[in-house]
Structure 1
Amino acid sequence: MPESTADFTAALRTALAGADTADARALWRALGTGGVIAALYPDGGTQPDPRRLAALLAELDAHSPLGVTLSVCVQVATVLPLLAEAATTGPVADTVAGMVRGETVVALAVTDAGASGSDLLDATTRTKLGDDAVTVDGRKDWITNATTCDAALVLARHREPRHFTSFCWLLVPRSTPGVTVESAGRAFAGSGVGHLRFDGVALEPGALVGRPGRALAGFARQVGVERLAGALWSRALCRRLMTGLGDWLRSRPAADGTLWDHPAVRDRYARCLVALRQLDALCAPLLDGPPGPPSTATGMVLKVAAAETAETITAEAVHLRGADAFRDGGEAALRTEAAMFGIAGGATGTMLAGLADHADDLLGSGP
């Protein structure tokens, strides 16, 4: 087990060196075999170490398509912690062990076909909990790893009232009769994004993850780690993009030197640097803190900052590169995919509305 972040990064690079980094399942297997997934949670904990998480996302961003990084990010920041905190024995514990070894891929099935956007209280995927059996019916849309998973961690309603205590988690093997999967197309190549349908799916009682009524509370807490992961990933992506853009500007001939020599170009580039440094500053205190979710308000700030920084820098890269940005795999395509930072884990508009409710706390948190 690596003892430091440097040792972890070395083990990570060794694992990636022999892996197909464009294949999410093959990459996940390599991370498990190389001990990387286990080492992400030091001292037997259930939450990823922030610095190791940052190293993982930076290396994946450098070597893998965005969709493959998304596949890994959802599992390490959200799925594994949720399952590990509930795991004792039985199918849940077996699934956690399989994920750590890189043998099992689990989709996080939260976004509901019957609800609008982030309004999970209106979710219509339902379960009936019995002493001897559990059934589930419904549909989950736009689920990462849907087409490549072995099982899905499904948020389902077990009570009718529109209340946060009306939901539970179910671990649903993909091979269970009544489970069907539909691809969502070519979006986020490598992420396995798709739609999951559950028609009279019958499960053993051991499929229940944790206590009924606690699912939304646990998810609301864990999503803070997902938002931190998104900020760390956005930071890595933007730094990589800025480095490449700076090299390109310095090499691109212009009438009186290179594009880098033009004050207007340097001004636009410098504004991107400021945006990136602001995101760095938001992430820095959390990198030195203990594993675990940041506060609700901090998580929302990170979410908005990650989305706005990615949009600012990808938009400027497209503007400055011009026609070159529209080549295959260029900045224009990356900008489209990076819009994910403003949607996944809660839309930016929803985050801003929530932040307004925390205004007194945030204004009082300064020096």
Structure 2
Amino acid sequence: MPEAAVLDGDLLSTVDSDAGGARVWQRLGAAGVLREQYRRRTATGLVADPGRLGATLRAVDARGDNGVTLSVLVQSASALPILATATGPEFDRVADGECEVALAATDAAAAGSDLTGLGTEVEIGEDVVRVEGAKRWVTTATRAAYFLVLARHRPGRHFTAFTWVLVPADTPGVRVTPAATTLLPGAGIGHVEFSGVRLPPSAVLGRPGRGLALFARHMGTERLAGAQWATALTSRVLAQTRAALTRREIDGRSLWDHESVRQEFAACLVRVRALRALYEALGERVVEDHDLTSGAVLKAAVGLTADDVLSRCARWRGADGFADDGLQLLRAEAAVFGIGGGVTELMLGAVADDAEALLTELRA
């Protein structure tokens, strides 16, 4: 499906170039862009519009702050669709840009890809809901007004043992610590502890035991958004790199005039164009059919494409790539494509599991 037109060029021009993620989110919400990313709201959350979601990410990526783009992506593609199942005013506040929400899934007690091994627990009583545990590497944690917390409501690793709980950030017992990293500063990444947290029964989103099912329903949208952002980022860097190659000379010839460089650059361009074609072809399956295999294909393709393309671009920039704002830093930040939301190897395993069906489709 072709993407929607690029957002109005003036939309984010009123936001200072060094403004943080909160200001960008506020502007997108106030302009109605965040709501327009979705086709409809259902009992199980939001259904995204692939074209509009991609246009938003391209516009934000153009500002060149990967942390800010990451925060917009996670909130738009994962957090807001789940928050839409809440019955209170929280969704409207976040969707209108009044405040932000953080998706607190990655647990301190387990590896990021091991959701069923998480240790954060929720006790659901008739009059009170109690939350205990800790989450780590949470995007927008340091500035969120609400945390969407995936917690265990009964022992075991069964799919139905987990529930989403909405925790206001100012609730007694909630403690946020900024993550010890200089990468992606605009993302507001932090670790969150929940100690003796007490909430009303309305804090539980949906029926107890439907947490992982709801997460899986919207996980593909984040993977689609990741492919859209990776395409925007790598194509932007390729354009900047080509300009630099035409200016830099060796022995009286620009690097761009060397055939080996041209061919390697063209190979990068083909890979990025293929990534865009892939997410345009699979977008509808992801948002409408919740096709997990399509989501895994997209996520794996991003992991295999982004680092390779950016590594080559960084190498062409030579020593300049190691400047404080150079491509080596951008490359390090872009490593999130191969880790966040599912490591590339795990995604390839999921693709292999469905290899027979994929091969049948390719031969049809």
Q: TM-score, normalised by structure 1?
A: 0.93
1:168 alignment partner, one of 163, 170, 185: 163
Decide whether aligned partners of structure 1 residues 321 and 187 sit closer, same or farther in structure 2, where only a CA change above 3 A counts.
closer
Give the gaps of 5 or more residues in structure 1: none
Aligned-pair distance for 1:102? 0.3
Aligned-pair distance for 1:256? 3.8
2:277 alignment partner, one of 275, 281, 284: 281
Residue 149, structure 1, aligned to residue 129, structure 2:
no
Aligned-pair distance for 1:33? 1.0
Which residue does the alignment assign to 2:128?
133
How many equivalent residue pairs? 356
Measure, in 2, the Cα distance between the counterparts of 1:129 and 1:338: 39
Measure, in 2, the Cα distance between the counterparts of 1:294 and 1:263: 44
1:246 alignment partner, one of 215, 230, 242: 242
Residue 269, structure 1, aligned to residue 268, structure 2:
no
Which residue does the alignment assign to 2:15?
19
| 2:218–2:290 contact (8 Å) kept in structure 1 | no
Q: Secondary structure at the match of 1:9?
A: coil
Q: Secondary structure at the match of 2:335?
A: helix
Which residue does the alignment assign to 2:57?
57
- CA displacement 1:124-152 (0-9 Å, x = unmatched): 00010001000000000000011110010
Residue 35, structure 1, aligned to residue 49, structure 2:
no
Amino-acid identity (%): 45
| 1:225–1:292 contact (8 Å) kept in structure 2 | no
Which residue does the alignment assign to 2:4?
5
Which residue does the alignment assign to 1:83?
83
Aligned-pair distance for 1:170? 0.3
Aligned-pair distance for 1:54? 0.9
Q: Secondary structure at the match of 2:107?
A: coil
Residue 191, structure 1, aligned to residue 190, structure 2:
no
Q: Secondary structure at the match of 1:346?
A: coil
Residue 357, structure 1, aligned to residue 356, structure 2:
no
Measure, in 1, the Cα distance between the counterparts of 2:112 and 2:128: 31
Decide whether aligned partners of structure 1 residues 293 and 149 sit closer, same or farther in structure 2, where only a CA change above 3 A counts.
farther
| 1:187–1:193 contact (8 Å) kept in structure 2 | no
In the TM superposition, what are the counterparts of 1:116-127 in structure 2 within 5 Å? 116-127=111-122
Aligned-pair distance for 1:48? 2.1
- CA displacement 1:287-342 (0-9 Å, x = unmatched): 57794465111111100111221111111011111111111211100110000000
In the TM superposition, what are the counterparts of 1:213-224 in structure 2 within 5 Å? 213-224=209-220
Measure, in 1, the Cα distance between the counterparts of 2:206 and 2:293: 26
Specify the code of the residue in structure 1 equivalent to 2:320: D
Decide whether aligned partners of structure 1 residues 67 and 79 sit closer, same or farther in structure 2, where only a CA change above 3 A counts.
same
Residues 184-193 or 131-140, more deviating? 184-193
Q: Secondary structure at the match of 1:202?
A: strand
Which residue does the alignment assign to 1:340?
336
Root-mean-square deviation over aligned CA pairs: 1.7
Measure, in 2, the Cα distance between the counterparts of 1:71 and 1:35: 18
Decide whether aligned partners of structure 1 residues 293 and 82 sit closer, same or farther in structure 2, where only a CA change above 3 A counts.
farther
Aligned-pair distance for 1:228? 0.2
Which residue does the alignment assign to 1:327?
323
Which residue does the alignment assign to 1:180?
175
| 2:142–2:188 contact (8 Å) kept in structure 1 | yes
Measure, in 2, the Cα distance between the counterparts of 1:358 and 1:47: 25
Aligned-pair distance for 1:353? 1.5
Q: Secondary structure at the match of 2:361?
A: coil
Residues 283-292 or 195-204, more deviating? 283-292
Aligned-pair distance for 1:32? 1.0
Residue 114, structure 1, aligned to residue 122, structure 2:
no
Decide whether aligned partners of structure 1 residues 342 and 129 sit closer, same or farther in structure 2, where only a CA change above 3 A counts.
same
Measure, in 2, the Cα distance between the counterparts of 1:320 and 1:334: 14
Q: Secondary structure at the match of 2:47?
A: coil
Give the gaps of 5 or more residues in structure 2: none
Specify the code of the residue in structure 1 equivalent to 2:37: L
Measure, in 2, the Cα distance between the counterparts of 1:42 and 1:126: 33
